[in-house]
Amino acid sequence: MQKPIIIAHRGASGYLPEHTIEAYQLAIDLGADFIEPDMVFTKDGHLIARHDHYLSTTTDVSDHKEFADRKTTKTGHDGEDWFSEDFTLAEIKTLRAKQAMPQRSKQADGKFKIPTIAEVFALTRANGVSAKREVALGVYPETKLPGYFKSIGLDYQPALVAELEKANWWQEQFPLFVQSFEAQILIELKNSNPELALIMLIEKKEDLLLEQYAKFADGIGPFKALLADNKGKSTGVIEQAHALGMQVHPWTFRSDQLPDVFASPQAEYDFFFDLGVDGVFTDFCNDAKAAKLARIARTIKEL
Ligand code: G3P
Ligand code: CA
């Protein structure tokens, strides 16, 4: 797969409600190299694709009178909400996804179901080499809140490994990165299955502990602002990660929330591609693909 890889952040989430099969399929159609499901658990131990375990912002749970009494408070979450770990998968399947960002279209609200990770892996496999793609589609699942879920008896390590077994990953080896903001789950996965490619997510400057992460991770997924200073110079993070043998996949590129310093999405992609990133998490994978192709075209002209 030619770098930088284009990772469809929550699917084609700039256009359709995030973390739905329809949003992942659109991302595939728009040229994504990887689709990115965030994962949380249901009460009966299934992994479903959601960014948050609270459900009110991205589903119609508040319209379901039968679930009114599930609204509750949880340690670590402000205010009341409905939480994935209080619902069975069968109950989750009665919900429909909705757009969370106010500036984005709500036309598809109420139409799409919440997928399981098994369904996301099935979609990935259906877009493998056998689907006549030159390069097999990849999948880039994130373990959300692994410490919290383990504390209530829901453990990502066995659950994810079991899902990968069911998806025949050890035979098919479709492109896969597993990511987390919490080092412990990545260490557990590296210990149980050293063949998995793992990405340590980093949000804050003080968490740039790259030498530590290189012991178990194959790369880092940093907040993009950690990679350059306000003069547009590299902070050295990419160079250090590369020297340690790790890839760098920053997040999140959003054409509808472009930083002021860039005149266009392409200018932002060009800046980070020039900086040396190995991939980008983007809500608008068609814009990333266009920037990548334009760059390739420029290289050909210079030959
Ligand atoms: O996983 C990379 C990036 O998605 C991290 O941010 O909060 O969108 O999962 P988030
Ligand atoms: Ca994510």
Gap from CA of 108 to ligand 1 centroid (Å): 22
> Which position has the token pair 């200018």?
267
Percentage of the chain with pLDDT > 70?
A: 100
Please check whether residue 92 is in contact with residue 48, taking contact to mean a CB–CB distance below 8 angstroms.
yes
Average pLDDT over residues 69-82: 96
Q: Which of 145, 187, 177 is closest to 8 using CA atoms?
A: 177
| pLDDT tier at 169, thresholds 50, 70, 90 | very high
Model confidence over 104-133: pLDDT tens digits? 999 999 999 999 999 999 999 999 876 777
Q: Where are the alpha helices (DSSP H) in 102-253?
A: 117-126, 146-151, 156-166, 169-172, 183-192, 210-213, 237-243
Average pLDDT over residues 39-61: 98
Q: What is the DSSP string of 155-177?
A: -HHHHHHHHHHHTTHHHH---B-
Q: What is the mean pLDDT of the chain?
A: 96
Torsion, Cα of 66, 69, 74, 79 (10° steps): 100
Atom of ligand 1 nearest to the CA of 9: 4
| pLDDT tier at 271, thresholds 50, 70, 90 | very high
> Which position has the token pair 């597993």?
178
Q: Which of 255, 256, 281 is closest to 268 using CA atoms?
A: 255
Report whether pLDDT(134) > 80. Answer: no
> Which position has the token pair 């973390």?
19
Classify residue 18 by its DSSP letter. Answer: S
Report whether pLDDT(1) > 90. Answer: no
Query: Which residue has a Cα nearest atom 7 of ligand 1?
Result: 51
| pLDDT tier at 299, thresholds 50, 70, 90 | confident
Q: Mapping DSSP to helix (H, G, I), strand (E, B) and coil, where does residue 282 land?
A: strand
* Sign of torsion over alpha carbons 19, 178, 44, 168: positive
Average pLDDT over residues 203-212: 98
Please check whether residue 163 is in contact with residue 47, taking contact to mean a CB–CB distance below 8 angstroms.
yes
Q: Which residue has the higher pLDDT, 87 or 302?
A: 87
Gap from CA of 51 to ligand 2 centroid (Å): 7
Q: Provide residues with CB under 6 Å of ligand 1.
A: 9, 38, 51, 142, 179, 201, 221, 251-252, 281
Query: Which residue has a Cα nearest atom 5 of ligand 1?
Result: 251
- How confident is the model at residue 212, as a pLDDT? 98
Please check whether residue 179 is in contact with residue 142, taking contact to mean a CB–CB distance below 8 angstroms.
yes
Domains in the chain (CATH in brackets) are: 5-52+103-302 (3.20.20.190)
Q: What is the DSSP string of 79-100?
A: S-B-BGGGS-HHHHTT--B---
Q: Mapping DSSP to helix (H, G, I), strand (E, B) and coil, where does residue 64 land?
A: coil
Report whether pLDDT(28) > 90. Answer: yes
Report whether pLDDT(301) > 90. Answer: no
- How confident is the model at residue 273, as a pLDDT? 97
- 245 phi/psi in degrees, rounded to 5: 85, 20
Edge-first strand order for the sheet with 178-180 is 47-49, 38-41, 142-143, 178-180, 198-202, 219-222, 247-248
